[in-house]
Structure 1
Amino acid sequence: MGLDLRICPACGDLAERPIVAGTVLTCRRCGHEWPFRKLPLFALTGPSGAGKSTVGPLLAARLGGDVVVLDQDILWVGALRDEVGTFRSVWLRMAAMLHQNGRPVVLCGTVAPPEFEPLPERAFFSEIHYLALVGTPESLGRRLRARPAWREWDEPRIEEMLEFNEWLRKSAPELGVDLFDTTDVSREATADHAEKWIRDRLP
């Protein structure tokens, strides 16, 4: 069985839109069926500056052996930067491939359910759980302005991120996103909350 779930292990056909029923994939071309591991995906999201990159390494240390913690930004390069939809799809395929090793994935990065849920690769996961780290506009603005120049956080980009933060806070209930405000919370306490949130939802 190949690790790329879109490729039929019998005939090698590549499925742009996989046929999934429960934990079984079916090849559209030859009809071959094969099982796969269908695990939950954990999306640790929220605006830049809310603490995702800070908490990620703490979670990796605490959850090592149980889950795989990854930062989406590692692939935010080249053509993927220009094609956001492709970027999201690549990460879902990567996470599904890692799931075939038996460990769920925690994906850290700025994303919202409307960017994952409609994708064909969504069928590879039993659920996608979303935890958004958010903050006050003042705290986020202060953190982003303090970042190194190479990260290119100018005022228009900061304002865009603050708008996303506000939208996320308002839309979370209807989107099924859990929120955690990191404004006056230490990174250790934020990691405590995120770790418990993940462990409570592990299969």
Structure 2
Amino acid sequence: MNLLICARCDAYTDTPVVEADPPVLHCVECGHRRPFRRLPLFAVTGPSGTGKSTVGRLLTERLSDRYVVVEQDVLWVDGLRDPSHHHRLFRSTWLRMAAMIHQNGRPVVLCGTVVPPEFEPLPERALFSEIHYLSLMCDPEVLAARLRARPAWREWDEPRIAEMLEYAAWIRENAATMTPPMTLLDTTDASVEETAHAVQEWITSHTATP
């Protein structure tokens, strides 16, 4: 199921070659062409504290018959915390994992902080028909209060909170001009259930029948 290994000659590549319509993986070593499922990926993203993980739990209950909902931070381990190139190793690992899950016929909903410039340039991007980005947002005062209320083990001190507020402002300013654009969803006054419903509607509105 590893799409980076040729099913015929066992050659490995970090840069998959994809021929579309219908989607086929082309091995440059032996010429083998292997059909695969090239599905859309749904990135439910946003600054820390906007509700991604909480909403993800509800999405798992509501979408489990059609999608696979996963939490990005589960792979945030020492071996993947490479600070260079927008954490490329971490991002590439997630795209490879999602593409492998897609071979079971269900699109992945990935809950975690990411923006298009961190996914779109990667070689693994070719394994997906599209990546849709929905960023949860909230007012700065509410976001700061949520982060301060987190348990001590999360280590949200004031400098780190200030950095996250700057990141949130950057997303709000640039979301519409990214490639592809990011959709913003304000969670300031919404309940968790209302936010989960809105995210569910966004996902299904971008999905053809699997």
Q: Which amino acid aligns with 1:159?
A: A
1:159: how far off? 1.2
| 1:91 and 2:94 correspond | yes
- Residue in 1 aligned with 2:147? 144
| 1:178 and 2:183 correspond | yes
- Residue in 1 aligned with 2:2? 4
1:95: how far off? 0.2
| 1:19 and 2:17 correspond | yes
Q: How does 1:151-162 map to 2 (within 5 A)?
A: 151-162=154-165
1:82: how far off? 2.9
- Residue in 2 aligned with 1:164? 167
5+ residue gaps, structure 1, are none
Question: 1: CA distance between counterparts of 2:57 and 2:93?
Answer: 22
Question: 1: CA distance between counterparts of 2:115 and 2:73?
Answer: 15
Q: How does 1:50-89 map to 2 (within 5 A)?
A: 50-83=50-83, 84-89=87-92
1:171: how far off? 0.7
Greater Cα shift, 54-63 or 150-159: 150-159
Contact 2:82–2:88 under 8 Å retained in 1: no
Counterpart of 1:118 in 2: which secondary structure? coil
5+ residue gaps, structure 2, are none
Greater Cα shift, 131-140 or 152-161: 152-161
TM-score by length of 1: 0.97
Counterpart of 1:107 in 2: which secondary structure? strand
1:177: how far off? 0.3
**Could you say what the CA RMSD is over the residues aligned between the two structures, in angstroms?**
0.7
- Residue in 1 aligned with 2:130? 127
- Residue in 2 aligned with 1:33? 33
Question: 1: CA distance between counterparts of 2:148 and 2:107?
Answer: 34
Contact 1:19–1:27 under 8 Å retained in 2: yes
| 1:192 and 2:190 correspond | no
Contact 2:58–2:196 under 8 Å retained in 1: yes
1:16: how far off? 1.2
Contact 1:40–1:125 under 8 Å retained in 2: yes
Q: Which amino acid aligns with 2:158?
A: E
1:94: how far off? 0.2
Counterpart of 2:81 in 1: which secondary structure? helix
Question: 2: CA distance between counterparts of 1:201 and 1:47?
Answer: 23
